[in-house]
């Protein structure tokens, strides 16, 4: 039997390192590249009862629409502007078309419809693709900070409001009493005493004594009238005083 040659330890160590590096490189090759375009999605439209179901579909750019014939006779998928045409699709057959540009694409079935939405017709609305999502790196969550105790503020003791002073009681002002006014004496003229009228002297009869002379009688009557007038004036002056 021949002797088995021993592999030097240095070479064995290098081989293990190469094997590890190759394994890592193969793993990176299998992983999808960052920012790579996702796989195109598909939307199915069925041809059933001489109609497209659904009649209108809205898809983003890059979507593939698949038309499947569920009827017992052939149909076509023909664009109004001639950008795509499936030809006759037999029962159970299918037609695929990928829409790369945004826009509106009306289509119809040649045997059973016409352009402009006549008969068996449909519509594909293609929208602009949205921006690819940016990978977000996980951010380390900071440890919650311990809340520092808030010093309690001293509660102020409410001070009672000062008593409202009562308004002073007004002192009644004595009203001056009216001074009695003495009644004004009313002057009532008293009737003048009757002036004595001198009786005519009796006519002298024959055989009687002659009386006093007529001049004396007239003087006495005048004096009596003056005395009566003086008495009346004196009384009036006394009442007025």
Q: Is 108 exposed, middle or buried (0-12, 13-18, 19+ CB in 10 A)?
A: buried
Question: Does residue 116 surpass a pLDDT of 80?
Answer: yes
pLDDT of 39 reads 54
Residues 32, 129 contacting (CB under 8 angstroms):
no
- Strand ranges across the sheet with 118-127: 56-60, 118-127, 103-114, 78-79
pLDDT for 206 = 44
Q: What is the signed CA dihedral for 148, 154, 155, 157, rounded to 10 degrees?
A: 180
| Contacts (Cβ under 8 Å, ≥6 apart) of 76 | 85, 86, 87, 88, 89, 109, 110, 111
pLDDT of 95 reads 98
| The model's pTM | 0.41
Is-contact 65 81, C-beta < 8 A? no
Q: What percent of the chain has pLDDT over 90?
A: 36
Q: Assess whether pLDDT exceeds 80 at residue 226.
A: yes
Higher pLDDT, 229 or 43: 43
Distance (Å) of CA 102 to CA 61, 105, 186: 6, 9, 130
Please, what sign has the CA dihedral across residues 66, 70, 72, 78?
A: negative
Q: Is 134 exposed, middle or buried (0-12, 13-18, 19+ CB in 10 A)?
A: exposed
Residue ranges covered by each domain of the chain:
42-127
42-127 CATH fold: Immunoglobulin-like (2.60.40)
Q: In this predicted structure, what is the pLDDT of residue 207?
A: 46
Question: By the 8 A CB rule, do 108 and 121 touch?
Answer: yes
- Confirm if 111 and 74 have CB atoms less than 8 A apart: yes
Residue 205 pLDDT: 46
Report pLDDT for 32.
42
Element (H, E) at 53: strand 52-53
- The pLDDT score that the predictor gives to residue 235 is 80
Lowest model confidence (mean pLDDT) among 92-101, 160-169, 174-183:
174-183
163 vs 198 pLDDT, higher one: 163
Pairing assessment for the beta strands 42-47 and 63-69 based on DSSP bridges: parallel
Tokens 């809205």 -> residue:
58
> Pick the residue with more confidence: 132 or 76?
76
């Amino acid at each position: 039997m021949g002797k088995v040659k021993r592999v030097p330890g240095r070479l064995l160590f290098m081989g293990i390192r190469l094997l590890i590096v190759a394994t890592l490189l193969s793993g990176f090759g299998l992983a999808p590249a960052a920012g790579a375009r996702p796989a195109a999605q598909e939307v199915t439209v069925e041809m059933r009862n001489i109609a497209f179901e659904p009649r209108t579909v809205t898809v983003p750019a890059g979507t593939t629409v698949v038309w499947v014939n569920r009827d017992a006779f052939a149909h076509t998928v023909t664009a109004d502007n001639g950008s795509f045409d499936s030809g006759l699709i037999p029962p159970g057959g299918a037609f695929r078309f990928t829409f790369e540009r945004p826009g509106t694409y009306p289509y119809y079935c040649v045997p059973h419809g016409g352009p402009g939405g006549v008969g068996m017709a449909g519509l594909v609305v293609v929208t602009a693709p949205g921006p690819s999502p940016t990978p977000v790196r996980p951010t380390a969550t900071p440890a919650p900070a311990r809340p520092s105790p808030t010093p309690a503020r001293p509660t102020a003791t409410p001070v009672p409001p000062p008593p409202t002073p009562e308004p002073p009681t007004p002192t009644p002002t004595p009203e001056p009493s009216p001074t009695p006014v003495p009644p004004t004496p009313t002057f009532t003229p008293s009737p003048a005493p009757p002036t004595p009228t001198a009786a005519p002297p009796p006519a002298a009869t024959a055989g009687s004594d002659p009386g006093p002379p007529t001049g004396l009688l007239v003087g006495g009557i005048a004096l009596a009238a003056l005395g009566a007038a003086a008495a009346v004036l004196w009384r009036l002056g006394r009442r007025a005083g």
